[in-house]
Structures are given as C-alpha cells and as structure tokens.
C-alpha cells in the first residue's frame, strides 16, 4: 500500500512530458535554464538581452528537431553546468537529491521502531479492574451532571 | 539633526535593553521584586528609542536630508510619498531599523500582557531573552548596519531613489511590515521556550501562555508571504508568483517549522508528549529567521531582494550559531526533565497524525534549506558552480505537498489515543466522495495529467474533512463552532486547500506566448484574443511611462506599461492583468515600439485559478483570526479519546469531535 502511494506520488511529481514543436515546449525549456545576466531569474522569465538570445537559440534548435536533452546539453557545454536550473544527478551534486530522501526514510524508520518499542512495553501494562471502575464512575458522573449543559 | 536624533534613539534602545537585562537578572538573583518589575519601564525605553530612530529616519526621508548616507543612497526628491515612506525598508540598514521597531513593540507587548506576573521567573527570563535580542539588533544598527551614517552631499545633490522594482506597486508598502511582524513575532515564543528551559518549568504552562502569540506571528507571516507572492505576480512580469528565490525560501522556512510547531504543540498540551521536539521547533523557527536574514542580507546568495551588507553577514551568522548552541545546550542540560510522561498508543490516532505532520514539515523545511544553501556548500567544497532551481524544488516538494493534503484529509477525523478502521471508514465516507467529486469536476473542466487531478482529488478529500468538522461543531455550538483553535484551524485548512488547488491548476495549465503586434493587429492564445490598439507616453516626476493599450476578447482595455526611471535609466515593466474567477489573462510588455518598427512586444500568459491563491491566503488569515478567539471551554473530565463502550457514542454527538475543541 505504502509503496503504491510512494510510486504514485513520485510519478505524479514528474513534469508531464512535452512533445512536438510549440511555444509551450520552448517556454518549458527556457524555464529549465538560468539567466546568467540576472539575479535569480530563469531564461523563461527574464527580458535581459542574454535571456532573449537564449530563447531565440532554443527556438532555432527546436526547429532543427533537436530533443530537449540535446538542447539543454548544448547550453550546459557552452555556459557551464550552472546554467541548468536542475542540479546534476551524478557526482557531489547528486547529494542534494539523495540526502533528503535518506533523511525522510531515516525519520520514518526511527518512528516505526519507536512505535514498535512502545507497543512491546505496553503489552505488560494493562489497566486493573479498579482503574476501569474509576474511569467508568467519572464518565457516568460527567454524563449525569452534563445533561443540558452541552 | 535627524542623524543625532536617530543615533540618540538607537543608543537609548541599546541602553534600555541592557539595563533591562541587568535589572531583571539582579532582581531575580537577589529576590528583589521591584527590580524585576523594572523590565516594563525599560521595555518602554527601548520602544521609545526605536520610535525616535524611525521618526528620525522618516523625517530624513521626507525632508530629503542628504546628510544621511542612507537617504542619499536610497532616497530621491522624485519618489512618490508612499514609496518614500517605504524606502525605509527597501535597503539593508533601514530594514534592520524596521526589525528593531517591531521587536521593541513586541517586547513592550509582552511586558504589558504579563504586567501582573513580571516577577515570575518564567516571565522574567522571557523578558531577559527579549532584551538580549534587542541588544543584538540595536548594537548591530550602531555598528555594521548603521542607518544613520553621515554624508557630505555636493550642492544640488539628488539621490537615485529606491530600487525601481520596489517602487512599482503599492503592496511594497505592506508586504515587508507584515512579514516582519511575523518573523519577529516568533521571538516571543522562543523567549518563553528559553525561559522555560532556564527556570526548569518545562511543563505545559509556557506553551499555553504563548499559544496566541505564536498564532499571531504565524498569521502575519502567512499574510506576508502571500502578499509577497502577489507582489511578484503583479510586478515581475513573468506571470509567476513563487520561484524558490533564496529570500522567499528564507521567509518560507520559519513558516514551515512554525506550522509544524502549531500542530505538535497540541500533542504536548493534551498528552504532555513531544516536549523536546516542541522546544527544538521553536528554537529552529527563531534561528531560521536569523539564518534567513543572514542569507539574504550578507550577499552570499544572489536574489532580487538581497542587499549586500559587508560586516553584517558574519555577525548574523555568529548570532545564528549562538542561538543554535544555546538552544541545544539548554535542551541537553534539562534533558532529564523533558522526558515525556506517556507514549503514543497507536500510529492511527490524532497524536500519531500530528507526528506524521511534523515529520513531513521537517522534511519539507530540510529540502528547502538544503536546496537554498547547497550551491554555496558545493562551491566551498570543491569549487563547482551549480544551480539548484525551480525544477529541483518542485520535484522534491510536490510529493510532500500531496502527502500533507492526504494527512489533512485523514487527521481531523481521528480521535486521540486510538482509532478503529470502522470509525475511520465511517467518518471519511463523505470527505472521500468530495474528493471523487473534485476529480470528476476537474476532468470535466478539461484538466488532464496525474498531478493536477491528484491535487484536486486530495484537495476535495481534505476540504470534505474540514467542512465535516466545521458542520459538526456549528451544529453543536452555533456560531461559536467557528471559533477556537480546532475550528479556526479547519478554516485555515480550507484556505490552504484553496491555495494548493490554485497552485496545482495555475502551475500545470499555464499557457505563455510572445507576440510582436502592430497597432490594430491581434493575437490569439488559449481561446483569448488580444488586440493591440496603440500606445502613448506619460511623464511622471520620477519616470517616463510607455502605456500600451490592449483589448482582451473585444471587451475591456488593459494598459501594461514600461517605466523608464530617469535617474537610473532602468526600465521596469508593469504588467496588466485581466483577473477572472477561472482564468487570468496577463499582459506584460517586452519591447517598446520604435520609430523603425512600430510593433510592440508583448508576452501574454493565460493561467487558471490564480486569483484563488490570494483568496485562499485571505481565508488562511481569517482562520487564524478565528483561532485566536477562545474556543469552547472543555471540562477536563470530558471524554476526548475513543469511547471505551458503544453506548458512550450515543451519549453525545461524536465525543472525539468535541475533543478537538480545546479551551
């Protein structure tokens, strides 16, 4: 069950595949590239001259029938790795992907272990009849006195 | 004059805070209550000093006092009055001054609220912590980030004015103060947390005392973040409202840990569990506000908001380290007293759900923090330059968002202690159908793709749960069923769901196109016709505006602008948006028509449901306000957990539903 949920979540989070030459695909690609002339903006968002040039280049390469990856690689080779908004999945850069997943898995495991320990400890302790009688009396008192109040 | 006044105010604030610390500490140590009670007048002195400095700064800005370096560098004689006031928080030193003012205000508010208990060591220590934070910020303003540095202006000098982006939209006057009220507000629960650790009164007393303060700060932080994204939508011209910019992340991080705390605090109040965790969350929230200020005010990351600030960076980083070390040290020192008196019986219970919520929020915060600092870390490690951008954050956080929506659907119907499968099935029946209805509705409206439909479905599911809780509460208590933490919280949930659905729809179904249009020509995008009518030029004191006129769908005319600022020569666009309940049509100029080419460049963006982001944000704030009202007083003997015997269920409508309403 959990596995299914995780798989669905991961699949759902992946951006929808883009096909065919269209403005949509060009803009999707442009948002994958960082504008090197501006602060914190993607090529898709910016009107800086370099960003406009990038977009024209994307259009040109799309018309030549290049794939998304080929176009992104072209920019990465020319302007350096930092032009890509997505961090790499190999080398040191991959840590940014791996570490949160490991941390989350660790947290879930620790919680699961804690619950298991709690359940084991709990099995030895059961409320005595006396305890239960006390609780029942307190509840009964509450209900009698409560009546119209709630 | 302004300079002397401002510096005088800062010295007064620093002195008042310092003497406040001394008085309270000496008083607590020697048992002299009259000394401890001095914290209130000293808080007043700090506030007076801060107000004096702010008045001096505003006076300097309004009278264009170029002998103040800050005014000379960020003011100008042509800035319109409103933005002239807002110039105070448009650069580093002034924004720290605003921080100081808000902090002094909170210090006085705490001293006033607890005026009858000032000699109580818990309150005394909380005041000490507030004063220490005050000392830090006032000392920062007197040294590295001094807003009152002097300047010798040449005759006839005029300043450049604030960054044009920051004088382009009225929200600029409101977004930063709101955000600061939120940021700085978390100092109060942090101060009480530290006080609880120092005094050893780590029970639930301090939590209850600071509950409303935390909610208050959280509400303002939420409002500030939403207003910030609205500003970015209305000003930046690319149709987006959130781009995981380091400064946005810096405001989002304390929001995440603060939200986690607001949930887990209920477990501690009810069951006495998670004490260390709650203390850690508060300390994390406060230290993240400091870290955020460091990241954005030191120039280590690039961002539209970042102001570079020399020595401020290392000082803030040092403060962050001190806060973390002190918090960890105190928690370690009190470790034996923090042990929980009980345990969580079943993962399928209200407290189990809060725990899951906290894991998700903690992972969320970790992802955002890691993504923000990762490029810095890698560059420091091996010199590689890489970017962690929007695609990373979206891919990592969207699954967490889905998980949070799922939890939001299930958790509100769970009783404390333990839930059975039958009970869950029974209570989730209608919410689940609401989710199915949302998916069908989305599909009928033409939505495709797994992610948005899943978001709609989970949104409907979660909304069903929240509405169920509100209906049950109002049926039982009338209008009072809408106030109090649990019910107000459900209103906040509804707002969050609206925001989530709007995010999913606007992010998934955005259509963008760029056109070059001659006067009279039209373009068609996503079923909308945009016709270019012509443009004109308007002269303003600080800028020249090029206003292009577009008719959208043969109806109203919209005027996106390009503003050329005279002093800096920068050109900043102002988009114009046809706002609709279902779809926004967003027009941003990309190119002014020239003499050789009369065509205008325009970017047209059609985005569904954007307006619901702001509506959802308002609902969240409304829900926070409702939560601030006292809810139904709960009798401590009321059954709140799963009923032990079947007839207990008939005794009252849903005892466990009532259990959510706390005093």
Lowest mean pLDDT among B349-363, B409-423, B613-627: B409-423
Domain boundary among A86, A113, A136: A86
B77 touches chain A (CB under 8 A): no
A46 touches chain B (CB under 8 A): yes
User: Looking at residues B504-531, what average pLDDT do you find?
Assistant: 90
A60 contacts A75 by C-beta, under 8 angstroms: no
Separation of alpha carbons B332 and B77, rounded Å: 55
User: Looking at residues A47-68, what average pLDDT do you find?
Assistant: 87
Instruction: Check whether residue A71 and residue A125 sit in a common domain.
Output: no
Asked if residue A6 is part of any domain, the answer here is: no
Distance from CA of B274 to the nearest CA of A (A): 13
Question: Which of B344, B381, B511 is facing A92, going by the closest CB pair?
Answer: B381
* Chain B residues with beta carbon closer than 8 angstroms to that of A80: 385
Quick one: pLDDT band at residue B619, thresholds 50, 70, 90? very high
Instruction: Check whether residue A64 and residue A100 sit in a common domain.
Output: no
Per-residue confidence (pLDDT) for residue B634, from 0 to 100: 58
Radius of gyration over every alpha carbon of chain B, rounded to an integer in angstroms: 27
Per-residue confidence (pLDDT) for residue A111, from 0 to 100: 86
Q: Has residue B302 got a pLDDT over 80?
A: no
Q: How far is CA B107 from CA B132, B133, B188, B248, B312, in A?
A: 11, 10, 8, 26, 23
Per-residue confidence (pLDDT) for residue B632, from 0 to 100: 62
User: Looking at residues A120-145, what average pLDDT do you find?
Assistant: 76
Closest chain A CA to residue B394: A13
Asked if residue A1 is part of any domain, the answer here is: no
Instruction: Check whether residue A140 and residue A97 sit in a common domain.
Output: yes
ipTM for the whole predicted complex goes beyond 0.90: no
Instruction: Check whether residue A23 and residue A71 sit in a common domain.
Output: yes
Q: Which of A4-8, A24-28, B487-491 has the highest mean pLDDT?
A: B487-491
Tally of domains within chain A: 2
User: Looking at residues B275-289, what average pLDDT do you find?
Assistant: 92
Residue to test with chain B: of A8, A11, A104, most B Cβ within 10 A: A104
User: Looking at residues B14-43, what average pLDDT do you find?
Assistant: 95
User: Looking at residues B422-435, what average pLDDT do you find?
Assistant: 91
Per-residue confidence (pLDDT) for residue B30, from 0 to 100: 93
Structure tokens at B68: 């103040």
* Chain B residues with beta carbon closer than 8 angstroms to that of A97: 392, 396
Structure tokens at B276: 């260390």
Instruction: Check whether residue A122 and residue A78 sit in a common domain.
Output: no
- Give the distance between the most distant pair of CA atoms in chain B: 88
Positive or negative, the Cα torsion across B315, B320, B323, B324? Answer: negative
Structure tokens at B532: 């270019």
Closest chain A CA to residue B355: A111
Binding-face residues of B in 327-346 toward A, CB within 8 A: 343-345
DSSP string spanning B298-326?
SSSS--SS----TTHHHHHHHHHHHHHHH
Q: Answer yes or no: do A39 and B344 touch at CB < 8 A.
A: no
A2 touches chain B (CB under 8 A): no
pLDDT per residue over B439-462, tens digit each? 999 999 888 889 999 999 999 999
- Residue B325: which of B317, B159, B611, B436 has the closest Cα? B317
Distance from CA of B605 to the nearest CA of A (A): 11
B476 contacts B634 by C-beta, under 8 angstroms: no
Domain boundary among A69, A86, A103: A86
Per-residue confidence (pLDDT) for residue B656, from 0 to 100: 41
Per-residue confidence (pLDDT) for residue B306, from 0 to 100: 53
Instruction: Check whether residue A126 and residue A98 sit in a common domain.
Output: yes
Closest chain B CA to residue A123: B345
* Chain B residues with beta carbon closer than 8 angstroms to that of A83: 387
Question: Which of A12, A86, A141 is facing B391, going by the closest CB pair?
Answer: A86
Q: Has residue A6 got a pLDDT over 70?
A: no
Instruction: Check whether residue A77 and residue A104 sit in a common domain.
Output: no
Q: Has residue B243 got a pLDDT over 80?
A: yes
Instruction: Check whether residue A77 and residue A99 sit in a common domain.
Output: no
DSSP string spanning B410-423?
HGGGPPBS---HHH
Closest chain B CA to residue A118: B343
Domain boundary among A65, A86, A107: A86
Per-residue confidence (pLDDT) for residue B662, from 0 to 100: 39
Distance from CA of A106 to the nearest CA of B (A): 11
A125 touches chain B (CB under 8 A): no
B575 touches chain A (CB under 8 A): no
Q: Answer yes or no: do A83 and B387 touch at CB < 8 A.
A: yes
Query: How many secondary structure helices (H) and strands (E) does chain B include?
Result: 21, 10
A105 touches chain B (CB under 8 A): no
Identify the residue with better confidence: B613 or B590.
B613
> Percentage of residues in chain B with pLDDT exceeding 70?
93
B588 contacts A45 by C-beta, under 8 angstroms: no
Positive or negative, the Cα torsion across B164, B167, B169, B173? Answer: positive
A3 touches chain B (CB under 8 A): no
pLDDT per residue over B114-154, tens digit each? 999 998 999 999 999 999 999 999 999 999 889 999 989 88
Q: Answer yes or no: do A104 and B359 touch at CB < 8 A.
A: yes
Asked if residue A11 is part of any domain, the answer here is: no
Q: Has residue B371 got a pLDDT over 90?
A: yes
Per-residue confidence (pLDDT) for residue B618, from 0 to 100: 96
Asked if residue A68 is part of any domain, the answer here is: yes
Quick one: pLDDT band at residue A19, thresholds 50, 70, 90? very low
Distance from CA of B50 to the nearest CA of A (A): 33
Distance from CA of B71 to the nearest CA of A (A): 25
Q: Has residue A10 got a pLDDT over 80?
A: no
> Percentage of residues in chain A with pLDDT exceeding 70?
77
Asked if residue A2 is part of any domain, the answer here is: no
Closest chain B CA to residue A109: B359
Instruction: Check whether residue A70 and residue A118 sit in a common domain.
Output: no
Instruction: Check whether residue A54 and residue A97 sit in a common domain.
Output: no
Separation of alpha carbons B51 and B314, rounded Å: 27
Binding-face residues of B in 593-652 toward A, CB within 8 A: 635, 637-639, 644, 648, 651-652
Q: Answer yes or no: do B362 and A107 touch at CB < 8 A.
A: yes
B524 touches chain A (CB under 8 A): no
Q: What one-character DSSP code corresponds to residue B578? A: E
The pTM score is 0.88
B546: left (phi over 0), alpha (psi -120 to 50) or beta: beta
Asked if residue A113 is part of any domain, the answer here is: yes
Q: Domain containing A38 — which CATH number?
A: 1.10.8.640
B182 contacts B51 by C-beta, under 8 angstroms: no
Across chain A, what does the average pLDDT equal?
A: 78
Distance from CA of B343 to the nearest CA of A (A): 7
Closest chain A CA to residue B346: A115
Domain hosting A26: range is: 18-86
Q: Answer yes or no: do B387 and A84 touch at CB < 8 A.
A: yes
Instruction: Check whether residue A68 and residue A48 sit in a common domain.
Output: yes
Q: Answer yes or no: do A9 and B392 touch at CB < 8 A.
A: no
Closest chain A CA to residue B448: A16
Identify the residue with better confidence: B638 or B274.
B274
Stated length of chain A: 150
3-state secondary structure B487-513: HHHHHHHHHHHHHHHHHHHHHHCCEEE
Question: Which of A40, A83, A142 is facing B637, going by the closest CB pair?
Answer: A142
Q: Has residue B492 got a pLDDT over 90?
A: yes
Q: Has residue B646 got a pLDDT over 50?
A: no
Q: What one-character DSSP code corresponds to residue B143? A: T
Q: How far is CA A72 from CA A29, A30, A64, B281, in A?
A: 8, 9, 14, 40
Question: Which of B238, B385, B449 is facing A45, going by the closest CB pair?
Answer: B238
Instruction: Check whether residue A38 and residue A64 sit in a common domain.
Output: yes
Per-residue confidence (pLDDT) for residue B513, from 0 to 100: 85
Question: Which of A80, A92, A111 is facing B382, going by the closest CB pair?
Answer: A92
How far the first Cα of chain A sits from its last, in Å, is: 41
Q: Has residue B262 got a pLDDT over 80?
A: yes
Burial readout B555-593 (b: 16 or more C-beta within 10 A, e: otherwise): eeebbbbbbbbbbeeebbbbbbbbeeeebbbbbbbbbeb
Question: Which of A39, A47, A107 is facing B363, going by the closest CB pair?
Answer: A107
Per-residue confidence (pLDDT) for residue B658, from 0 to 100: 39
Per-residue confidence (pLDDT) for residue B354, from 0 to 100: 92
Lowest mean pLDDT among B130-139, B238-247, B600-609, B644-653: B644-653
* Chain A residues with beta carbon closer than 8 angstroms to that of B387: 34, 81-85, 87
A141 touches chain B (CB under 8 A): yes
């Amino acid at each position: 069950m959990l596995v299914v949920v995780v798989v669905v979540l991961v699949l759902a989070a992946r951006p929808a595949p883009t096909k065919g030459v269209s403005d949509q695909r060009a803009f999707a690609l442009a948002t994958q590239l960082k504008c090197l002339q501006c602060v914190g903006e993607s090529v898709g968002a910016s009107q800086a001259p370099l960003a406009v040039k990038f977009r024209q280049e994307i259009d040109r390469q799309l018309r030549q029938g290049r794939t998304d990856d080929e176009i992104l690689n072209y920019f990465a080779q020319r302007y350096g790795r930092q032009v890509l908004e997505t961090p790499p999945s190999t080398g040191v850069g991959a840590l940014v992907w791996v570490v949160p997943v490991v941390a989350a898995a660790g947290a879930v495991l620790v919680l699961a272990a804690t619950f298991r320990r709690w359940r084991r400890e709990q099995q030895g302790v059961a409320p005595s009849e006396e305890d239960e009688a006390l609780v029942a009396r307190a509840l009964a008192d509450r209900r009698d006195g409560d009546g119209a109040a709630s | 004059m302004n300079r002397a006044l401002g510096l005088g105010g800062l010295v007064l604030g620093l002195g008042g805070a310092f003497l406040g610390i001394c008085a309270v500490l000496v008083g607590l140590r020697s048992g002299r209550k009259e000394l401890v009670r001095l914290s209130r007048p000293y808080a007043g002195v700090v506030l007076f000093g801060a107000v004096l400095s702010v008045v001096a700064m505003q006076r300097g800005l309004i009278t264009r006092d170029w002998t103040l370096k800050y005014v000379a560098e960020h003011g100008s004689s042509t800035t319109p009055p409103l933005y002239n006031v807002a110039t105070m928080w448009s650069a580093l030193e002034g924004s720290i001054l605003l921080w100081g003012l808000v902090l002094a205000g909170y210090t006085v508010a705490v001293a006033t609220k607890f005026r009858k208990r000032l000699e109580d060591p818990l309150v005394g220590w909380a005041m000490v912590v507030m004063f220490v934070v005050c000392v830090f910020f006032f000392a920062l303003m007197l040294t590295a980030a001094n807003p009152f540095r002097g300047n010798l202006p040449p005759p006839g000098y005029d300043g450049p004015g604030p960054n044009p982006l920051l004088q382009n939209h009225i929200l600029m006057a409101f977004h930063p103060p709101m955000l600061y009220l939120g940021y700085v507000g978390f100092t109060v629960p942090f101060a009480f947390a530290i006080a609880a650790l120092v005094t050893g009164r780590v029970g639930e007393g301090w939590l209850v005392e600071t509950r409303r303060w935390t909610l208050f700060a959280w509400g303002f932080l939420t409002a500030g973040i939403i207003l910030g994204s609205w500003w970015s939508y209305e000003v930046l011209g690319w149709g987006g409202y959130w781009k995981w910019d380091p400064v946005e992340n810096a405001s989002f991080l304390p929001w995440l840990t603060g939200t986690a705390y607001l949930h887990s605090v209920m477990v501690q109040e009810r069951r006495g569990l998670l004490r260390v965790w709650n203390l850690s969350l508060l300390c994390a929230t406060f230290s993240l506000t400091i870290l955020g200020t460091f990241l954005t005010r030191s120039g280590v990351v690039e961002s539209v908001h970042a102001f570079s600030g020399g020595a401020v960076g290392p000082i803030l980083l040092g403060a962050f380290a001190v806060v973390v070390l002190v918090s960890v040290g105190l928690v370690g020192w009190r470790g034996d007293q923090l042990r929980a008196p009980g345990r969580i019986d079943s993962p399928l219970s209200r407290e189990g759900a809060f725990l899951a919520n906290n894991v998700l929020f903690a992972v969320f915060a970790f992802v955002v923090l890691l993504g923000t600092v990762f490029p810095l870390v890698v560059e420091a490690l091996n010199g590689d330059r890489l970017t962690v951008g929007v695609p990373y954050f979206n891919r990592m956080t969207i699954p967490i968002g889905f998980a949070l929506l799922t939890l939001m659907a299930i958790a509100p119907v769970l009783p404390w202690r333990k839930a059975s499968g039958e009970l869950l099935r029974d209570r989730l029946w209608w919410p689940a159908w609401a989710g199915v209805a949302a998916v069908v509705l989305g599909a009928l409206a033409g939505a495709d793709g797994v992610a948005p439909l899943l978001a709609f479905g989970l949104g409907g599911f979660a909304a069903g749960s929240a509405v169920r809780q509100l209906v049950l509460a109002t049926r039982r208590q009338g209008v009072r069923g809408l106030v109090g933490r649990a019910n107000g919280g459900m209103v906040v949930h509804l707002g969050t769901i609206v925001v989530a659905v709007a995010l999913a729809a606007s992010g998934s179904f955005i259509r963008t196109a760029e056109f070059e249009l001659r006067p009279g020509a039209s373009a068609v995008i996503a079923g909308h016709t945009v016709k270019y009518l012509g443009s004109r030029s308007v002269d303003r004191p600080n800028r020249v505006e090029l206003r292009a006129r577009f008719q959208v769908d043969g109806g109203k005319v919209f005027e996106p602008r390009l503003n050329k600022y005279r002093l800096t020569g920068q050109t900043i666009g102002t988009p114009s948006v046809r706002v609709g309940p279902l779809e926004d049509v967003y027009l941003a100029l990309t190119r002014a028509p020239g003499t050789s080419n009369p065509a205008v460049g325009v970017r047209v963006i059609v985005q569904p449901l954007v307006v619901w982001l702001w509506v959802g944000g308002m609902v969240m704030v409304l829900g926070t306000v409702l939560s601030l009202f006292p809810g139904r007083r709960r009798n401590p003997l009321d059954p709140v957990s799963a009923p032990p015997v079947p007839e207990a269920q008939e005794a009252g409508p849903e005892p466990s539903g009532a259990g959510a309403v706390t005093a």
